[in-house]
Structure 1
Amino acid sequence: MSTLFSPLTLRGITVRNRIGVSPMCQYSCVEGVPTDWHLVHLGSRAAGGAGLVITEGAAISRQGRITPSDLGIWSDEQLDGHRRIARFIASQGAVAGIQLAHAGRKASRVPPWETDPSQTQGRPLACHEGGWVPDGPSPIAFAPGYAVPTEVSHDEISQAVRDFVEAAERADRAGYDWIEVHAGHGYLLHSFNSPLANQRSDAYGGSLQGRCRLTREVARAIRAAWPQHKVLAFRLSYTDWAEGGWTLEETVQLCAWLKEDGVDLIDASSGGNTPNPAVKVGRGYQVPGAETIRRQCDMPTASVGWIDEAEQADAIVREGRADMVMLGREMLRDPYWPLRAALRLGVAAQARLPVQYSAAWAHLGSFSFDPITAPQISHAGNPAVDDARHLIL
């Protein structure tokens, strides 16, 4: 038996294994509408055996986009595309999740490949190019060359909370069973949490409780609107990797509060709030953050960041360092990583894949082929089939 391929149940949702597809921006939309690219990109990872497939960050408002090409869920016009995605992911036996996001002071940029294909973020998009002035807790630019954000008012803060709630309601109508709220990587909620970006003196600044107020308001508001049997997760950066910034200790306290607010799991990432964080990147480098949160808060966690080997992923879950692993770049390289991991761990029988792929995989191991993915096609009344049947007889 492999712990990595054991099921995980949170509330009324059961994930077939502990492997999740991490949200990865595709920057391939017009007006936030999901396309065939998103259906194939996400659907292939569900067919490839992942237990949880989460969309890239879906902007809760036009103002909250990273780029003009972001996926969105701020409008009912975007729902049909989301329904196709959620329905197909579920048809493959995976849980369909969506990440809700507001880019905050890091909004209004170009897709990364317009700057450098090897980078994860593009340059700022100027207003004369179709950009906009971003929002933030304080008028502090993310980095030199970035626009100074507008310090949001209390009314604008309340509107942001409503935008999150309305996005969650649309996610429910689209058929998603798992919401991950993006409160990391320097985006709006993280920027409120961190003293590097938040220098307010009102109720949304100052103390840890004040800086975390918006994040908690979003959690409570979504939990009240989101069906009780569905999962609510938060992605947090557990440290800024910068002097005077957000710390692991503060993250642990926020997670304890979020647990009270009805959050079910923390997806533990790090950084993103400064342009040049002093982070020592290495294999599984963010696992200690997930482990600390899990043990100190008695709360389920997912770990992400340079997890690419089957034995490594299995050990993280088996040793209780996290309840799930989230894979990003490795899933881009290989949509069928979960199936290869099952073979490497000798537990092919614990993995499931579409029966249509049996010819390529059956000889490799004793996989469970999922019959629900095979459509039941009736040939009754089809002249071509009838003619062929006569020939056979």
Structure 2
Amino acid sequence: MADYSNIPKDQRKLKSSLNEELPKTSECDIVENLIIGQSGGPSAVINASLAGVILELRERKFAGKVLGMQGGIEQYLAGQPPLDLSQYNDEQLHRLAHTAAAALGSCRVRLVEKDYDRLFSLFEQHQIRYFIYIGGNGSMNTSLRLEQEAKKRGYNLKCIGIPKTIDNDLYGTDHAPGFPSAARWLVIHTIDSGLDLLSMRGFDHVKIIEVMGRHAGWLAAATLLARSEISDPPHIVLVPELPFDEKVFLQKVAEVYEQVGCVLVVASEGLRNKEGKFLAELQAGIAIGRDVNGQALLSIGEGVSGYLTNLVIKELGLKARYDKPGTLQRSAACRSSIDLEEALSLGRASAKYLLEGMSGVMPALKRISNDPYKYAIEPISLSEITGRERVITSEFFKNQELDEAKIKEYLAPLIVPKPEIPFRFH
């Protein structure tokens, strides 16, 4: 056994559970354990869903162990022993729920055929009969494939996926946990950047803010909540759902600059031109790599913000600069209270579903009303989710632009507390 003599006593139990294999039991002493993992990009509230699962199972007197994959399925397959989550008390779980990013560690991996033998061997060794994965589109697909593989093998395994993605592109749910908090952070950042730019009119001309969103522009659209008046920043919001038109963009920049004296642009990283090419890939001398799913890594180099900044400087002769918040927008502890509540509730619902015998589903948010904001949680089949993305639909556009009123109606109830409207002299 490893020597933990130099580790403080209150930390030894955790260290031990991280590095020791779970005891094996005989066939006549089989128990039903649950394993849970986190996958994909972290968020401000993904740990709330994790805490919700543990709390619900505890209250329902779940007889088995609740085990956590450290580093997701990738590290579990690599031999990393799972962490016993049953050992933590309610005060610790409260702190977990209010901690940003993925406490168990995350991964991005696509399972291949050779992984299944190893994975189900580990499930058998650790007596896993329940599987929960918290994540986005890829994670829901993984949960579905595991359920299908278990049925094919005749292995008793129930699988649930819990939604999480800041891009808000997960199909089947009104919105995804993590998105409202990331959106709130971006609204505040846009207000601050807008005030800074307005202060420097005459010296700074154009600012580009690049936000996440490969195919869905929800995060960029959310920055419209920073506007209290028509002339307020952001002056231009660009989303992937509308092909980028260079001529129209430059004309808008010139018009706003003439009227306001400065221009704040918010652009999704996944902007494409009319030919379907990512703007981020059009930078000379930049070779963009690919992730495990074969998708272009749009954050490499200057990205879309660099492309737009250079375009403004070259074609309009204006001073321009850009901000790339990058991963800051993902796990910033500037969370929405609604987001935290919903993430915790979805975790509880998933545990409830499993104990009621459900499998192959995801707990989804259904909006009941906006004012006051009310929601319900309902199960949706994972087979209905995979292979689909929730992009901004036509109802949120008007005259080939985002419909600000519709966007605000949808998003405002989710971003709580509402960022303060700044004071301005008129």
TM-score by length of 1: 0.24
Higher relative contact order (CA closer than 8 Å, sequence separation 6+)? 2
Larger Rg: 2
TM-score by length of 2: 0.22
